[in-house]
Structure 1
Amino acid sequence: VFVEVWQNRDKLAEIKKIKAWLLTITHNKAASYLRKKAGSMTSVSWDELAAHTIPDELQTPDEQLISREEMTRINKAIDDLPPRCKQVFVLAKIEKLPYKEIATMLDISVKTINIHVAKALEHIATALRKESV
């Protein structure tokens, strides 16, 4: 976490909620570590990750409500993805691993990762549009 903060030190002045930002980085690093340590992409469930979300006291009441509702819809859309697409999306967009690292880890091409991520984002956007109508 400290390395991440150091690497982004030039952006610190722009961050409005530094405590929330630090907790998010810590959460992401911990989840990534647990996955790597276990040697399995399924070792940390969505429920386990949800149990370690950013504390509500760091958000305004409006942000809490919107955040919970949106996250529920987004998580449902992610859960509905095909298994491989979901796995790639989680690694790329939630764990923020480089595409090359994911490609090596899963023994697929970077182009395939791009396709999975695009498909996942389209699916999530469509699901959010349907529920907001």
Structure 2
Amino acid sequence: MTNADRNTLVLVGQLIAGEEKAFEQVMEAYYKKLLIYAYSFTNDYPQAQDIVQNVFLRLWERRQNINIKESFQGLLYKSVYNEYIDDYRRKKSSTIINEAYKQALNYAVDDNNHELVEDKIALIKREVEHLPTRCKQIFLLSKQDGLTNSEIATYLNISIKTVEYQIAQAYSTIRKKTETKIKKLAMILFSFIKLN
């Protein structure tokens, strides 16, 4: 075992113990490498950044479950790859979700007019855009990005109760500002699919 391997094991041990400095050292040591690796899949810098940030977020959240079978660096690279695959699947399924979205709208409004359906989608999205900044951010992290309340709380350094309150406020505001038909529609849609 080399000195570098020993140092890595010590660092990982400190990370598992919850030492924030160890986490910062891991980020400093691996962030750029992982970003380049993620970019090799995505060819999209912001997407690569999101993937790597998600990997580090989960690494911290699940630090006590870290199990290194081969190497710590290998674990990180595998995590980036898995995150990319998950992201790819989410985006691929969004096409199917869009179709389900439109079908649900057609069913809910009982109307075959395609333009009417598009108007309803636009109305809901417009109301989301008019939410207060913090409320909108939390709502989109939940409904668009698919983060759990716990992940949002950690990401924004706020309490889970705050996340729950802001999401409830978003639903309430959207319901109040839309027409009677759309009130029912919004509840149906938000229950089954994410906004795109």
> Under TM normalisation by the shorter chain, which class is it?
0.5 to 0.7
1:127 has 2:177 as partner: yes
Residues 99 and 82 of structure 1, relative CA distance in 2, 3 Å threshold: same
Q: Which residue is 2:132 aligned to? A: 82
Cα deviation 1:80-130 (Å, max 9, x = unaligned): 111110000001122221111110100011000011000000111111127
How far off its partner does 1:38 sit? 9.1
Instruction: Please tell me the residue identity of whatever aligns with 1:112.
Output: T
Residues 127 and 114 of structure 1, relative CA distance in 2, 3 Å threshold: same
Q: Larger deviation: 106-115 or 123-132?
A: 123-132
Residues 64 and 115 of structure 1, relative CA distance in 2, 3 Å threshold: same
Residues 102 and 127 of structure 1, relative CA distance in 2, 3 Å threshold: same
Question: 1:106 pairs with 156, 173, 181, which one?
Answer: 156
Residues 83 and 130 of structure 1, relative CA distance in 2, 3 Å threshold: farther
Q: How many residues align?
A: 86
Instruction: Please tell me the residue identity of whatever aligns with 1:100.
Output: S
- Please show how residues 24-39 of structure 1 align to structure 2 within 5 Å: 34=47, 36-37=50-51
C-alpha separation in 2, matches of 1:115 and 1:63: 36
- Please show how residues 1-133 of structure 1 align to structure 2 within 5 Å: 34=47, 36-37=50-51, 54=95, 62=112, 64-129=114-179
Q: Which runs of 4+ in 1 moved over 4 A?
A: 58-61
C-alpha separation in 2, matches of 1:94 and 1:63: 26
Q: Helix, strand or coil: the match of 2:163?
A: helix
Q: Which residue is 2:75 aligned to? A: none
C-alpha separation in 1, matches of 2:170 and 2:152: 16
Q: Which 5+ residue runs of structure 1 have no aligned equivalent?
A: 1-29, 40-52
Normalising by structure 1, we get a TM-score of 0.52
Q: Which has the higher contact order (CA 8 A, sep 6+)?
A: 1
C-alpha separation in 2, matches of 1:104 and 1:88: 12
C-alpha separation in 2, matches of 1:101 and 1:93: 13
Instruction: Please tell me the residue identity of whatever aligns with 1:65.
Output: E
RMSD of Structure 2 on Structure 1 (CA): 3.3
User: If each structure's helix is expressed as a fraction of its own residues, which one has the higher value?
Assistant: 2
C-alpha separation in 1, matches of 2:176 and 2:138: 19
